[in-house]
């Protein structure tokens, strides 16, 4: 470190500046100086960072939350700057006091940094330096410090001696019974991660009673955090214990008087399902799932609707179809016509996923009628969700069957007032075209595809252009020459420049799939014609198009036709026309 | 062919809603000044062009605008001011538009709105946002300096007069007089004699009035018809006022309000519009809604609409 | 999320985590806004600064909106205090960090009992701030008075701050008794954006319960109205995005639904005004004063907000049916000018 070579006066400089800056009235300056704290520590060296900088910071912890937040953040990465893990304990005092401030964000950051730094301590140092801090926080006068304490258990517990472990479990129990709801919430919030590091016997004897108690708290915000912990705990216990120790509480949460708690059960349902296994799922969770699908609160129904696919997918394979058909679908059918749009939309985002589980016959019998209703739903999001997921149904029943049933609805949606719905339909076209075959496509869908080229929304015209390319890939260049190119070339003579631009965009992509012959004979003449367009935007797009299609042209054609045109454009009065012409000339020369 | 690689990179970066460096902003503003100083107070614009109203820092909605309208340079744009304030991404929004202006000066025209001002940006968010995102006010200073160089108005093919607010009663029914306002006079433009006024609002009756809410004048249909006749123009196109349907005609289709900030303030529930004029000045409105959540990425801090809670 | 995009067609699928915390956070937001408006000079409040540290600047229409809200509620309180000559109680439901009690202490107006209720997580923080600031504590106890404390509750001689879930009426009842409530004393209930977060049935139960328990009472309710339009949809979506559902929104569809909520719950009568009317009832001089504090260039934004909020005054018995928002000659003595 260069700084250590400097004279004493010089090396005092950084801390003097820091003190100065930290006293400045401008918060922004104080913030900036905290943010470069690591630079200052580097300049000071490890020893002086420990003996001067850290004590200074510990004493001056009284500032705007923004500054404290930055400080809490910095200290989490300071271990190497104080001399490595064996000196990490120097960072504990400032972080401890930051963990007691009023502002939650600062406290949370301080706890996060404490966790990082604690993990860097040796087991012995942890017990000497971090555990006392944890215990001071536990017995702090204000809820702020007790709340912070909750975050330190899981990082200390696994590395301390048996007697200390017993103390920590007792401390945690105390926090679970704290008078201030924020502390109980913090405890409930950390219960899951603490459970993971506690020995199974103590999990059952100590933590489960805490869990049961928190799940019956009079604050619903505490109860719903207990639901989250429920998953972690269920994952740690054998099935038998889950049934006796966890399920009664879970059942109670699923019918909690607060919909927020029920919502959390819905959110966690699949995790719970995985934790408890197929037998408990069949006996206990299926009825609970049905119950939630019928919940009086729309938010709960919406949450559980998004789980329909995953819940069904995780049913045991032997009974899967039967359970879906007899126990789930009747409820799903009701949700299709739910009065709440969020619920319908949530369901629409996953319902297609049932198709592979049910197979072709049941999909056609049971699901298709539901899709048809949803494709006509008044809420655009429902329509969009169904269209966007049609492909997973293709695989099950084949597109022939699908398109026969849904084609009228799809044709209708091709002109939907929401452009994102139209976009989803366009993106589905190539697959549809491939399956339906050219003749059927020409009859039923080609008109739509051409129509999109003139849509008043640019994103649709762009997608329609790309769609042209994919269609040619399906049906081949001869089809393009006969079925679409003539109509596209006509657009080059449209009075509205937007259509002439779209024509050029189509030619860009068609050249790639139509081959040299068509590009030279059919596409190029139109491009060259547009070089004299009165609108500058069209002219510079001619330059861009010429560059793009040149790989598909013979050298002789480029020399005879493309280059002279570009040379002319390169003398255009419009700056951008000249720019893109010059770029095209350079690009073609480099090729 | 000049080297645009830095500028093109900055544009790509801004399009991802990432800010560019402070020294890049400084250089960008310097280049913009060179271009803007050449523009008149009534900037001549040729059709075809797409005319847009207020954006107000709603970056993802500006991207939505380009999705429905098409990108620069393929499409020509005229933005009628109020790029900044209120939305959460005034910095990215303004710098993207400015970078596009520098990169394609003939394809995009930016005129000044009442929010392009030192005073107003200190109340409505742009100042705070610059400070938050750059840690100093330097970027705000560069930007507000460039505000002084923006044209106050534009005229499309000599027929459509575009201005942020509308007309003011000070003696100046002639466009020539507007042209003579010193473009570098800064604040004088908002208070001094000028035929146009950032805060002006069309009113139901004839004649002039003073806006009951805040700064600005009301101008009536007779004022417009006289202005249009004297200057041989077909219509006045302006922005400045939220209209729930995105655009609104006044005075027998001689004045048009265009509003391009959908769900303004993330709260108002309005749709937005842009006016597409083709090479024959044929009018086509494209209506659009706020960008859906998924297209917005994950911003560092979740912005929230303000209510009384 | 840049919010709320919810005007977009796919705007409603964003992640949603509901809990009372989100409702509780609305208190922080409201307190921040009040602090901002106070700092800019909209009204005087020497106490809000103790509870709020945030210095963020809010948009002018938000500041004006809070001004109208504070002023509107205080006009009603003032009339009630005059009429009862202080022989009354104030019960502030979902009080948040409201400072009315402290401001009243600095005026000639004294009340028999001032009771504040909110979620325990809110009252714990309010207790914490009061306990740590002598200026606040000094206004709660007189020379010989004692202050009893628990983490969530605070009891002074005539001030009681208690944590309670307003949906749990047994708990409300027992807390009010701890606060030595007098069911026969004229009582004014205040609720600013509180009922709208309570499920309709719970809310009706609460209002019915009050109507049965108290003999003479006034209820001043400030909250959303005309929510049955696009603005309302966007608000529901935006707040939902923050994990906050307006569970009682069905009573906020019109001034009628607002009044009926009280009338159907056993209250003698109710009047309601949207905030446009409330703002206009504030004296012209006062309005001019605050309109000069900040330039508001888009009146339509304020108008749209004002049209979606209202003040409802409901009464039990006949003694207080004339409490309303018209301004009296005597200017406010509530320290808000």
Pick the more confident residue, B172 or B151.
B151
Mean pLDDT value of segment A158-164: 95
DSSP state letters, B115-138: TSSHHHHHHHSHHHHHHHHHSSSH
Measured distance CA(B86)–CA(A572) in Å, rounded: 42
At A543-557, the pLDDT tens digits run 999 999 999 999 999
Q: What average pLDDT does this structure show over B74-85?
A: 97
Q: Which of residues 304-333 of C touch A (CB under 8 A)?
A: none
Look up tokens 């146009």; give the residue. B196
Q: C10 vs A224: CB contact, 8 Å cut-off?
A: no
Over residues B67-87, mean pLDDT:
96
Provide the b/e sequence for A311-330 (b: ≥16 CB within 10 Å).
Answer: bbbbbeeeebeebbeebbbe
Neighbours of A549 (CB within 10 A): 24
For residue C57, give the chain B residue with the closest CA.
B123
- Chain A residues inside the 8 Å CB shell of C171: 218
CB contact under 8 A, C165 and A224: no
Which of C13, C69, C298 lies nearest to residue B293, judging by beta carbons?
C13
* Alpha carbon of A404: minimum distance to chain C alpha carbons (Å): 28
The pair phi, psi for residue B275, each rounded to 5°, is -105, 115
Q: Which two tokens stand for residue C200?
A: 């309709």
Chain A residues within 8 A (CB-CB) of chain B? 28, 31-32, 419-420, 456-459, 495-498, 501, 534-537, 540-541, 574-576, 579, 582-583, 586
Neighbouring subunits of B (3+ Cβ pairs under 8 A): A, C
Give the list of residues 6+ apart from residue C324 with CB closer than 8 angstroms, or none.
Answer: C76, C79, C271, C313
The pLDDT of residue B292 is 86
The pLDDT of residue B1 is above 60 = no
The SS3 of residue A238 is coil
Return the CATH number of the domain spanning residue range C20-316. 3.40.50.150
CA distance A347 to chain B (A): 18
* Count of domains observed in chain B: 1
Pairing of strands B166-167, B49-52: unpaired
CB contact under 8 A, B269 and C233: yes
Q: What tokens were used for A566?
A: 């570009």
Of A28, A458, A497, the CB nearest to B67: A458
Per DSSP, chain A holds a count of helices (H) and strands (E) of: 44, 0
Q: How far apart are CA A351 and CA C274, in angstroms?
A: 44
Q: Is B114 helix (H, G, I), strand (E, B) or coil?
A: coil
Lowest-pLDDT range of A440-444, A528-532, B211-215, B278-282: B211-215
pLDDT score of B191 more than 50: no
Mean pLDDT to the nearest integer, B52-72: 97
pTM for the structure as a whole = 0.85
The answer on pLDDT for A165 being more than 90 is yes
Tokens of B205: 């009756």
Question: Is the peptide bond preceding residue B80 cis, with omega within 30 degrees of 0?
Answer: no
User: How far is Cα A26 from Cα A37, in angstroms, rounded to an integer?
Assistant: 17
Is residue C78 part of an annotated ligand binding site?
no
Which comes out higher in pLDDT, residue A12 or C151?
C151
Report the neighbours of A using a cutoff of 3 or more CB pairs below 8 angstroms: B, C
Pairing of strands C187-192, C89-93: parallel
Of residues C337 and A339, the one with the higher pLDDT is A339
**Do residue B308 and residue C11 have CB atoms under 8 angstroms apart?**
no
Per-residue confidence band for B178, with pLDDT thresholds at 50, 70 and 90: low
Q: How far off is chain A from C262, nearest CA to CA, in Å?
A: 24
Whole-number Å distance between alpha carbons of C167 and B181: 65
Please tell me the distance from the alpha carbon of residue A503 to that of residue A459, in angstroms, as a whole number.
Answer: 15
Domain boundaries defined on chain C: 20-316
Residue B14 within any structural domain of the chain: no
What's residue A226's pLDDT? 92
Residue B183 — φ and ψ, nearest 5°?
-65, -20
Determine if residue A354 is left, alpha or beta; phi over 0 gives left, psi from -120 to 50 gives alpha, anything else beta.
Answer: alpha
Question: Could you tell me if C4 lies within 8 Å of chain B, comparing CB atoms?
Answer: yes
For residues C162 and C117, is the Cβ–Cβ distance under 8 A?
yes
In a domain, B306, yes or no: no
Q: Quickly tell me which residue has 């949803």 as its tokens.
A: A374
Confidence of residue B135 (pLDDT cuts 50, 70, 90): confident
Q: Which residue has the higher pLDDT, B212 or B280?
A: B280
Asked if C235's CB is within 8 angstroms of B263's CB, the reply is: no
Residue B86: its chain C contacts at CB < 8 A?
59
Q: Does the CB of C284 have a partner CB in chain B at under 8 Å?
A: no
Q: Are C124 and A218 inside 8 Å of each other by CB?
A: no
Which band of pLDDT confidence, cut at 50, 70 and 90, is reported for residue B297? low
Omega of the bond leading into B48 within 30 degrees of 0 (cis): yes
CA distance C33 to chain A (A): 18
Asked if the Cβ–Cβ distance from B307 to C304 is below 8 Å, we say no
Partners of residue C18 in chain A, C-beta under 8 Å: 259-260, 263, 299
**C94 labelled binding-site residue:** yes
Pairwise CA distance, residues C34 & A53, whole Å? 39
In terms of Cα–Cα distance, which of B36, B47, B109 is closest to B72?
B109
With CB atoms and an 8 Å threshold, state whether B279 touches A534. Answer: yes
Residue of B nearest to C294 (CA): B123
Contact B266 C5 (CB under 8 A): yes
Across the range B68-78, mean pLDDT stands at 97
Position B300 confidence tier, pLDDT thresholds 50, 70, 90: very low
CA–CA distances in Å: residue C9 to residues B260, B289, C231, C328: 17, 8, 15, 49
Instruction: Determine the residue among C149, C151, C154, C237 to mutate to test chain A binding: the one whose Cβ has the most chain A Cβ atoms within 10 Å.
Output: C151
Between chains, do A501 and B74 touch, taking CB under 8 Å as contact?
A: yes
Tell me the pairing of strands B77-79 and B49-52.
Answer: parallel
The Cα–Cα gap between A409 and A430 comes to: 17
C97 touches chain B (CB under 8 A): no
On the CB side of C47, how many CA atoms lie within 13 Å of its CA? 22
| DSSP class of B111 | B
What's the sign of the alpha-carbon dihedral C219, C221, C225, C227? negative
**Average pLDDT of the segment spanning A112-138:** 95
Beta-carbon contacts of residue A5 (< 8 Å; ≥ 6 apart): none
Q: Specify the higher pLDDT residue, A403 or B297.
A: A403
Tokens of A200: 């199974």
Give B1 to chain A, closest Cα distance, Å: 6
For B50, residues 6+ apart whose C-beta sits below 8 A from its C-beta are B69, B70, B75, B76, B77, B78, B274, B275, B276, B277
Q: List CB contacts (< 8 A) between B48 and chain A.
A: 497-498, 535, 537
DSSP 8-state assignment for residue B276: E
Residue C257's CB: how many other CB atoms inside 10 A? 18
Across chain A, which distance is largest between two alpha carbons, in Å?
92
B240 in catalytic set: no
- Does a cis peptide bond (omega within 30 degrees of 0) precede residue A484? no
Rounded Cα distance, B134 and B26, in Å: 13
CB neighbour list of residue B65: distance below 8 Å, 6 or more residues apart: B52, B55, B260, B272, B274, B288
- Can you tell me the distance from the alpha carbon of A540 to that of A544, in angstroms, rounded to the nearest whole number? 6
Of B1, B67, B75, the CB nearest to A459: B67
- In Å, how far is A4's CA from the nearest CA of chain B? 31
| Cα dihedral A373/A375/A376/A382 (nearest 10) | 100
* DSSP H/E element including B4: none
Residue B11 lies in a domain: no
Q: Cβ B120–C229 below 8 Å, yes or no?
A: no
Neighboring chain A residues of C12 at a CB cutoff of 8 Å:
341-342, 345, 381
Report CB contact under 8 Å: C7, B293.
no
Question: Is the distance from CB of A301 to CB of A293 less than 8 angstroms?
Answer: yes
Query: Phi/psi of residue C315, each to 5°?
Result: -140, 155
Residue length of chain B: 309
Residues B186-191 have a mean pLDDT of 33
Tell me, yes or no, whether B298 lies in a domain. no
Question: What is the predicted pLDDT for the residue at B4?
Answer: 87
CB crowding A60-83: b at 16 or more within 10 Å, else e: ebebebbbbbbbbbbbbebbebbe
**Does C57 touch chain A if contact means CB atoms closer than 8 Å?**
no
Distance from CA of B117 to the nearest CA of A (A): 23
Assigned domain for B303 exists: no
CATH number reported for the structural domain that contains residue B29 in this entry: 3.60.21.10
Q: How far apart are CA A372 and CA A407, in angstroms?
A: 10
Q: Which residues of A touch B273 (CB under 8 A)?
A: none
Three-state SS annotation for A274-290? HHHHHHHHHHHHHHHHH
How big is the A-C interface in CB pairs under 8 Å? 70
Residues in B 170-209 with any Cβ partner in C closer than 8 A: 199
Q: Among the options B56, B115, B164, B250, which is catalytic?
A: B115
pLDDT of amino acid A291: 93
**CB-CB contact of B113 with B82 (8 Å):** yes
Task: Note the pLDDT of residue B219.
Answer: 77
What residue ranges define each of the domains in chain A, with the CATH number in brackets?
478-590 (1.25.10.10)
Q: What angle do CA A62, A64, A65 make, to 5 degrees?
A: 100
Q: Answer yes or no: do B292 and C297 touch at CB < 8 A.
A: no
Touching check for B287 and chain C: CB below 8 Å? Answer: no
Identify the band that residue B186 occupies on the pLDDT scale cut at 50, 70 and 90. very low
Cβ-defined contact of A381 to C53 (cutoff 8 Å): no
Give me the total of CB pairs closer than 8 Å, taking one residue from chain A and one from chain B.
58
Instruction: Please count the residues of chain A.
Output: 591
Closest by CA to A537, choosing from A588, A510, A581, A497, is A497
Say if CB A533 and CB A573 are below 8 A apart.
no
Give the closest-approach CA distance of A250 to chain C in angstroms: 18
Instruction: Report the residue from A31, A456, A536 with minimal CB separation from B286.
Output: A456
Tell me which residue range forms the domain holding B36: 21-292
Which two three-digit tokens encode residue A263? Answer: 């919502």
Q: Is the pLDDT of residue B207 over 60?
A: yes
Sole residue written with tokens 């306990």: C131
**Which stretches in chain C have pLDDT values below 70?**
1-20, 142-145, 326-337
Task: Map residue B44 onto helix, strand or coil.
Answer: strand
Cα–Cα dist C43/C27, whole Å: 19
Separation of alpha carbons A260 and C22, rounded Å: 11
| pLDDT (mean) for B185-202 | 45
| pLDDT interval class at A499 (50, 70, 90) | very high
Whether C287 contacts chain B with CB within 8 A: no
């Amino acid at each position: 470190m260069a700084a250590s070579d400097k004279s004493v006066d010089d090396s005092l400089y950084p801390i003097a500046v820091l003190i100065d800056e930290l006293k400045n009235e401008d918060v922004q300056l104080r913030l900036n100086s905290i943010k470069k704290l690591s630079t200052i520590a580097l300049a000071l060296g490890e020893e002086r960072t420990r003996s001067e900088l850290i004590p200074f910071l510990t004493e001056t912890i009284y500032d705007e939350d923004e500054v404290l937040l930055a400080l809490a953040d910095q200290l989490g990465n300071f271990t190497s700057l104080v001399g490595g893990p064996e000196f990490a304990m120097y960072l504990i005092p400032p972080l401890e006091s930051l963990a007691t401030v009023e502002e939650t964000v600062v406290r949370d950051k301080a706890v996060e940094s404490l966790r990082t730094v604690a993990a860097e301590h040796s087991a012995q140092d942890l017990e000497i330096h971090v555990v006392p801090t944890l215990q001071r926080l536990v017995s702090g006068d204000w809820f702020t410090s007790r709340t912070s304490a909750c975050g330190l258990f899981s990082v200390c517990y696994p590395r301390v001696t048996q007697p200390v472990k017993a103390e920590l479990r007792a401390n945690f129990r105390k926090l679970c019974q704290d008078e201030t709801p924020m502390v109980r919430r913090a405890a409930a919030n950390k219960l899951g991660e603490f459970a993971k590091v506690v020995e199974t016997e103590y999990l059952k004897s100590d933590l489960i009673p805490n869990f049961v108690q928190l799940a019956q708290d009079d604050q619903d915000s505490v109860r719903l955090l207990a639901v989250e912990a429920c998953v972690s705990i269920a994952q740690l216990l054998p099935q038998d214990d889950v049934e006796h120790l966890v399920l009664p509480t879970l059942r109670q949460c699923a019918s909690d008087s607060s919909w927020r708690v029920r919502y959390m059960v819905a959110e966690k349902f699949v995790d719970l399902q995985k934790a408890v296994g197929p037998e408990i799922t069949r006996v206990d969770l299926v009825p609970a799932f049905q119950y939630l699908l019928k919940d009086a609160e729309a938010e709960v129904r919406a949450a559980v609707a998004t789980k329909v696919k995953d819940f069904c997918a995780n049913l045991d394979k032997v009974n899967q179809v039967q359970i879906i058909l007899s126990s789930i679908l009747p409820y799903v059918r009701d949700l299709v016509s739910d009065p709440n749009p969020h619920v319908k939309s949530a369901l629409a985002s996953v319902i297609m996923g049932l198709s592979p589980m049910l197979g072709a016959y049941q999909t056609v019998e049971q699901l298709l009628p539901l899709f048809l209703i949803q494709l006509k739903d008044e809420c655009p999001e429902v329509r969009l969700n169904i269209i966007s997921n049609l492909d997973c149904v293709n695989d099950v029943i084949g597109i022939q069957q699908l398109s026969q049933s849904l084609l009228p609805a799809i044709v209708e949606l091709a002109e939907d007032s929401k452009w994102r719905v139209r976009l989803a339909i366009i993106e589905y076209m190539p697959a549809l075209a491939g399956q339906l075959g050219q003749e059927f496509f020409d009859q039923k869908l080609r008109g739509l595809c051409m129509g999109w080229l003139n849509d008043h929304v640019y994103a649709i015209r762009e997608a329609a252009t790309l769609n042209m390319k994919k269609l040619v890939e399906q049906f081949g260049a001869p089809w393009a020459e006969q079925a679409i190119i003539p109509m596209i070339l006509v657009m080059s003579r449209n009075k509205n420049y937007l259509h002439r631009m779209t024509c050029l965009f189509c030619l860009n992509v068609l050249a790639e799939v139509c081959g040299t012959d068509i590009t030279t004979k059919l596409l190029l003449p139109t491009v060259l014609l547009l070089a004299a367009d009165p609108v500058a935007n069209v002219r510079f797009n001619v330059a861009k198009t010429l560059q793009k299609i040149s790989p598909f042209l013979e050298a002789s054609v480029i020399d005879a036709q493309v280059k002279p045109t570009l040379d002319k454009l390169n003398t255009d009065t419009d700056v951008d026309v000249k720019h893109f012409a010059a770029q095209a000339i350079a690009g073609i020369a480099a090729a | 062919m000049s080297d645009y690689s830095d500028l093109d990179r900055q544009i790509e970066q801004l399009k991802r809603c990432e800010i560019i460096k402070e020294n890049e902003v400084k250089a960008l503003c310097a280049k913009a000044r060179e271009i803007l100083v050449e523009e008149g107070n009534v900037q001549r614009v040729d059709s075809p062009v797409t005319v847009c109203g207020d954006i107000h820092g709603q970056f993802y909605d500006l991207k939505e605008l380009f999705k429905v309208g098409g990108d620069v340079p393929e499409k020509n744009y005229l933005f009628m001011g109020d790029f900044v304030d209120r939305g959460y991404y005034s910095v990215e929004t303004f710098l993207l538009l400015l970078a596009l202006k520098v990169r394609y000066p003939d394809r995009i025209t930016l005129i000044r709105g009442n929010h392009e001002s030192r005073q107003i940006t200190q109340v409505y968010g742009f100042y705070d946002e610059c400070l938050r995102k750059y840690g100093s006010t330097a970027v705000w200073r560069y930007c507000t300096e460039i505000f002084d160089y923006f044209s106050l108005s534009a005229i499309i093919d000599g027929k459509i007069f575009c201005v942020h607010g509308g007309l003011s009663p000070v003696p100046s029914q002639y466009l020539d007089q507007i042209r003579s306002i010193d473009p570098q006079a800064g604040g004088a433009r908002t208070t001094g004699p000028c035929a146009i006024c950032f805060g002006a609002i069309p009113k139901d009756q004839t004649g002039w009035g003073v806006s009951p809410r805040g700064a600005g004048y009301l101008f009536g249909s007779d004022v417009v018809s006289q202005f249009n006749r004297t200057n041989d123009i077909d219509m006045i196109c302006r922005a400045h006022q939220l209209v729930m349907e995105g655009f609104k005609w006044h005075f027998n289709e001689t004045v048009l309000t265009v509003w391009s900030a959908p769900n303004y303030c993330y709260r108002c529930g309005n749709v937005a519009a842009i006016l597409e004029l083709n090479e024959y000045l044929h009018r086509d409105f494209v209506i659009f809604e706020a960008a859906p959540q998924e297209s917005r990425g994950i911003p560092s801090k979740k912005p929230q609409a303000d209510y009384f809670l | 999320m840049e919010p709320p995009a919810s005007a977009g067609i796919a705007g409603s699928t964003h992640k949603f985590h509901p809990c009372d915390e989100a409702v509780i956070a609305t208190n922080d937001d409201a307190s921040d806004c009040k602090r901002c408006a106070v700092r800019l000079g909209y009204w005087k409040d020497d106490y809000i600064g103790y509870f709020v540290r945030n210095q963020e600047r809010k948009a002018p229409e938000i500041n004006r909106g809070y001004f109208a809200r504070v002023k509107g509620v205080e006009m009603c309180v003032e009339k009630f205090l005059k009429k009862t000559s202080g022989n009354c109680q104030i019960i502030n439901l979902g009080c948040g960090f409201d400072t009315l009690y402290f401001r009243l202490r600095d005026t000639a107006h004294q009340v028999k009992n001032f009771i504040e209720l909110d979620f325990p997580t809110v009252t714990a923080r309010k207790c914490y701030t009061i306990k740590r600031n002598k200026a606040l504590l000094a206004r709660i106890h007189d020379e010989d008075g004692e202050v009893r404390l628990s983490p969530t509750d605070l009891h002074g001689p005539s001030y009681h701050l208690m944590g309670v879930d307003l949906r749990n009426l047994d708990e409300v009842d027992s807390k009010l008794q701890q606060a030595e409530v007098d069911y026969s004393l004229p009582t004014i209930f205040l609720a600013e954006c509180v009922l709208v977060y309570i499920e309709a049935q719970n809310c009706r139960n609460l209002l019915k319960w009050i109507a049965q328990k108290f003999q003479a009472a006034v209820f001043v309710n400030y909250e959303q109205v005309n929510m049955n339009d696009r603005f309302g949809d966007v608000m529901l979506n935006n707040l939902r995005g923050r994990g906050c559902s307006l569970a009682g929104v069905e009573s906020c569809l019109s001034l009628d639904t607002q009044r009926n909520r009280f009338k159907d719950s056993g209250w003698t009568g109710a009047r309601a005004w949207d905030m446009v009317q409330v703002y206009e009832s504030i004296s012209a001089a006062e309005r001019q004063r605050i309109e000069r504090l900040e330039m508001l260039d888009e009146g339509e934004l304020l108008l749209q907000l004002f049209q979606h909020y209202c003040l409802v005054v409901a009464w039990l018995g006949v003694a207080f049916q004339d409490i309303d928002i018209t301004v009296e000659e005597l200017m406010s003595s509530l320290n808000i000018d």
